[in-house]
Structure 1
Amino acid sequence: MTRQLLVDAAEHAERAAEAVDDGTAERLAGVADDLRAVADESRSGPDHGWMAKRINTLREATSNADEGVREHADAAIESISEYREGVPGV
C-alpha cells in the first residue's frame, strides 16, 4: 500500500476535471483535492468507506462524460482500488 497510488489517482481526477466545463469539474476537482490531502497526511490513511465514497463520486460525475474524461476517472478508480487492497478491514 503506497500513498503514491493516491497521488496518481488525484492527478487523474484532476485531468478529468480539466477536460469538462460544467459542475462536474468542481466535483472531480474536489475528489482530487481530497485524495491529495489524505496522501499528504501522516496518519494511517483513508478507510474503505472514505475511498468507496470517492470512487462513487468519480463514477457518478463521469457517467455521461466523453471517453477521455471517463478514461481518467477509470484510471483514478483503478489507483484507489489498488491502494484499497492493502487497507485492513472490509
Structure 2
Amino acid sequence: MTRQLLTDASEHLRRAADATDGDTAARFERVADALANAAEADAGPDHGWMAKRIHTIRDAASDAGTEAADHAEAAVECISEYREGVPGV
C-alpha cells in the first residue's frame, strides 16, 4: 500500500472540483484536502474513514457532470486500491 494513491485520489478530486461549481465543487475540495492530509499523516486512515469519503465522493459525483464524475470515479479507484493494503475489515 502506498500513500501516493491517496495523493493521486486528492488530485483527481481537485480536477473534479475544477470541472464543476457550487456545493458540489466544495464537497470535492473538502475530501481532496482530507485525503492530502491523510497521505501526510503519521498513521494512515482506517477502512471506516475511507468508506465515508468514498460515500461523499459518489454522492457529490451524482450531482456533477460527466467530466467531474469521471475524475471522482478515478479517485474512488485510487482509494479502493489503497484500502486493499489496509489491515482489518
Q: What TM-score, normalized to structure 2?
A: 0.97
Residue 11 of structure 2 is matched in structure 1 by: 11
- How far 1:64 moved relative to its partner? 2.9
Q: Which residue number corresponds to residue 47 of structure 1?
A: 46
Kindly tell me the number of residue pairs found equivalent between the two proteins: 89
Alignment of 1:1-80 (within 5 A): 1-43=1-43, 45-80=44-79
Match of 2:45, SS?
Answer: coil
How big is the shift at 1:31? 0.3
In the alignment, is the contact (CA less than 8 A) between 2:16 and 2:69 conserved in 1?
yes
Amino acid in structure 2 at the alignment position of 1:42: D
Q: TM-score, normalised by structure 1?
A: 0.96
Separation of aligned partners in 2, 1:28 and 1:87:
23
- For structure 2, the residue ranges without an aligned partner over 5 or more in a row are none
Per-residue deviation, 1:22: 1.3
| Percent identical | 62
Of 77-86 and 56-65, deviating more is: 56-65
Cα RMSD (Å): 0.7
